[in-house]
Structure 1
Amino acid sequence: MTNSPDALPDQSLLPKPRASWREALTVYLQPRVLIVLFLGFSSGLPLALSGSTLLVWMRESGVDLGTIGLFALVGTPYTLKFLWAPLVDALHVPLFTRRFGRRRGWLVFSQMLLIGAILLLALTDPAKAPLFVALGALLVAAMSATQDIVVDAFRVESLPESEQAAGMASYVAAYRIGMLISTAGALFLVSAYESTGQTRLAAWMWGYVTMAAMVLIGTLTALLATEPEQSARAEAATSGESAFVRVSRAAVGAFAEFLARKDAWAALCFVVLFKFTDAFSGTMTAPFVIDLGFSRNDYAAIVKGVGLAATLIGGFAGGYVARRYTLA
């Protein structure tokens, strides 16, 4: 092959055209990205209901700090959700999978269980039955972690590569907003119920009932969405296999793919240690602030308000930069 000046250059070696700023921004208005945004809200909403918001309720009810510290273990399902992720990925939910598809079926199913778990937690009394509170909080965390598994799979399978960054930015932003609603929003709501003459216990109960109703936003989103094509193809390809074979393949494939990556164990240890310290220190923040004399409204406005704007701006800016300035 000659290097004549008239020869056309290899198109694969040319830099890819940069997306315009308008294209980079309008990606956030794509229906698929908007679906992911609302599912992100649904994922972020339950986290604080078994975490910081619950701890404020317990401290106001007179539960001692030692018991509150042990409630850090309630978040264990979020850490160990990788253990049952293969089950969610491979197993069918009777009626739901047939009606909505594999991903949407699991979404609706997990959200229905999540609503039930939050309502169960709403009916408990931390002062009289902390054990039942722990059981309710554990169920909320387990159902919330299961929903996270399905939403993550749905997001990856439903978005093309060019929309993944924007989808992740929308997901994180909506996740943070969901957390804000279930922390600052829930605390303000409890205060509002109290101002109507409700007892403190009744106000907390109705606050949690309201949060359970807001999970329906994610359920409606799942019903309006369409099943990802990748999931539908995988379902058709494995329709004749037994549940055991599907679960085994999903489990082996997931762990083998991760462990094949460079420095996989180092990355795993870093993430575990980072989240370990963050989880235990964060558990005591709410009761510490309450013990200092701040009200629940002060905690909602100051502790949970700081950093939200930075998180939202940073998330959307990252998605915009990734869309406009590709790595290739």
Structure 2
Amino acid sequence: MAEEKLSWGQALRVYLKPRVLAMFFLGFSAGLPFLLVFSTLSAWLTDYGVSKTTIGFFALVGLTYSIKFAWAPVIDHLKLPFLTRWMGKRRSWLVVSQLGVALGLLTLSQVNPQLALTQVAVVSVVIAFCAASQDVVIDAYRIESVREELQGAMAANYVFGYRVALLVAGGGALFLADIGTWSSSYMTMAALMGVGVITTLLVAEPDHTRAQDLAEPFEHTWVDRIMGSGRHSPIKEWFVRAVVCPFLEFFQRNGRFALVLLLFIGIYRVSDLAMGVMANPFYLDLGFSKTDIAQIVKVYGFFFSIAGAYLGGLLVAHYGIPRPLILGAVLVAATNLLFANLALIGPEKMWLALVISADNISAGISNTVFIAYLSSLVNQEYTATQYALFSSLMTLPGKFISAFSGIVVDTQGYAEFFVYAAILGIPAILLATYVWWRDARQQAAEPTTGQ
């Protein structure tokens, strides 16, 4: 039977559900540590006279976020002593990672970079590890907590909370350091991690019983196939269950179509990510001032990105995922043509505001819908592992292609570059259409197969 969609009124009321509201606070908890070990930390180190070469090496801390899929199987399968029995599978890992971030920030607030730079680096890596682990758990919790049609709303609230946290950890932390000290600023940020801890203690643990019951025979079968019958090494058996089975399950469930899905995940955001590194150089080269960029691109654009995220969640709740997925792909590609037009017009603030409005709304819609789509692809027994892999694959091709964006700009100009970026979005549109057609065909066949 085809999935029943929500009316517009029901779709709006989705945002009032307790678990959906909780995602704002969990998003805030996820976003808070990100800048505190990157740009805000760089400002602190600069104030203490640390060399630019050394500060540059601190960017390697960011690799922790890129390889979080490596320890996601541990989060999926390892029970924490006492805590898991008391709080459950997800909430126990969540509170441990949040407390790890808070203690790391508190430790960092007591360190003088001039006297103990190595300690600053080690603590920053620990904070990033705990923060990346928190991301893995929050993604898993979000997917397991509500039905598929609510995933867009969950993603929208998460994005809103995350963006607010970036403002607090960026401008807010700098302001506190300016009127006080860096130590007091980081102590305040550590205290704000309490928002996530309190939320974790208040929310309910998702029900994993059905997923575990379904996964057990699947894992047992593959353990016997790979390791043979008889007694198995506990470590090897755990590796097969935690690491190998999530990938086998995805390919067994989707068959050859799994390759199409992985390709689609990799290219969906290429058109969006390809221009990312060239955005600020474009604004400056076109003649806009830093104040124009701050006011229009950063502040004005922030509100439109949030509006786009909430609109995306509303569309998913009312229409389901496939059709908004096509819309998001079309909008992201089309807004690149607006940038190309801006490159020809020049530094007109009205046009910049128009382009930024369209770009942030389209990015908000596409990101929210795509997060909901990725969430629908995972098996809930392997949520953390499979989603961590998907989220890493989602940005990898776009970031790789963006490395060559400067070559295109230097040789052909900004207008041509943005046209090429729009063209890069065509495969995503075609695959999104194919996903919608395949989903519609399967739904149409379900009543027949059920008779």
Instruction: Give the TM-score, by structure 2 length.
Output: 0.57
2:307 to 309, 313, 316: 313
The reply to whether residue 68 of structure 1 matches residue 46 of structure 2 is: no
1:181-202 Cα shifts (integer Å, max 9, x gaps): 1111111122232xxxxxxxxx
1:75-125 Cα shifts (integer Å, max 9, x gaps): 111001000000011001112111101111111111111111111211222
The CA distance in 2 between the partners of 1:56 and 1:277, in whole Å, is 27
Residue in 2 aligned with 1:200?
none
Residue in 1 aligned with 2:138?
151
Gaps of 5+ in 1: 1-11, 194-202, 286-293
Q: Is 257-266 or 155-164 further displaced after alignment?
A: 257-266
Residue in 1 aligned with 2:194?
216
Q: Is the 8 A contact 1:102 1:232 kept in 2?
A: no
What's the CA shift for 1:271? 9.3
Residue in 1 aligned with 2:259?
262
1:139 to 126, 142, 146: 126
Residue in 2 aligned with 1:249?
241
Alpha carbons of structure 1 residues 305 and 127: separation in structure 2 relative to 1, 3 Å: farther
What's the CA shift for 1:159? 1.1
What's the CA shift for 1:235? 8.6
The CA distance in 1 between the partners of 2:49 and 2:71, in whole Å, is 36
The reply to whether residue 110 of structure 1 matches residue 107 of structure 2 is: no
Residue in 2 aligned with 1:86?
73
The CA distance in 2 between the partners of 1:72 and 1:275, in whole Å, is 23
What's the CA shift for 1:237? 7.7
The reply to whether residue 181 of structure 1 matches residue 148 of structure 2 is: no
Gaps of 5+ in 2: 221-233, 282-289, 323-439, 441-451
The CA distance in 2 between the partners of 1:130 and 1:273, in whole Å, is 37
What's the CA shift for 1:128? 3.0
Residue in 1 aligned with 2:402?
none
1:124-163 Cα shifts (integer Å, max 9, x gaps): 2223332221111111100000111111111100111121
What's the CA shift for 1:228? 0.2
1:322 to 307, 310, 316: 316
1:187-245 Cα shifts (integer Å, max 9, x gaps): 1122232xxxxxxxxx101110111111111111111111101368639986xx96764
Q: Is the 8 A contact 1:49 1:182 kept in 2?
A: yes
Q: Is the 8 A contact 1:258 1:264 kept in 2?
A: no
SS of equivalent residue, structure 1 residue 45: helix
What's the CA shift for 1:305? 3.8
SS of equivalent residue, structure 2 residue 113: coil
The CA distance in 1 between the partners of 2:5 and 2:65, in whole Å, is 38
In structure 2, give the amino acid aligned to 1:165. G
RMSD: 3.6
Alpha carbons of structure 1 residues 231 and 315: separation in structure 2 relative to 1, 3 Å: farther
Alpha carbons of structure 1 residues 155 and 125: separation in structure 2 relative to 1, 3 Å: same
Superposition pairs of residues 34-45 of structure 1, within 5 angstroms = 34-45=21-32
1:97 to 84, 91, 94: 84
In structure 1, give the amino acid aligned to 2:190. A
SS of equivalent residue, structure 2 residue 128: helix
In structure 1, give the amino acid aligned to 2:169. S
The CA distance in 2 between the partners of 1:54 and 1:303, in whole Å, is 23
Q: Is the 8 A contact 2:30 2:162 kept in 1?
A: yes
Alpha carbons of structure 1 residues 167 and 268: separation in structure 2 relative to 1, 3 Å: closer
Q: Is the 8 A contact 1:91 1:243 kept in 2?
A: no
SS of equivalent residue, structure 2 residue 59: helix
In structure 2, give the amino acid aligned to 1:122. S
Q: Is the 8 A contact 1:48 1:182 kept in 2?
A: yes
What's the CA shift for 1:250? 2.6
Alpha carbons of structure 1 residues 268 and 319: separation in structure 2 relative to 1, 3 Å: closer
The CA distance in 1 between the partners of 2:189 and 2:155, in whole Å, is 24
Aligned length: 292
Q: Is the 8 A contact 2:79 2:89 kept in 1?
A: yes
Structure holding more helix per residue: 2
SS of equivalent residue, structure 2 residue 205: coil
1:230 to 196, 205, 208: 208
What's the CA shift for 1:37? 2.1
Instruction: Give the TM-score, by structure 1 length.
Output: 0.77
Q: Is 174-183 or 127-136 further displaced after alignment?
A: 127-136
The CA distance in 1 between the partners of 2:129 and 2:271, in whole Å, is 21
Residue in 2 aligned with 1:128?
115
In structure 1, give the amino acid aligned to 2:309. G
SS of equivalent residue, structure 1 residue 94: coil
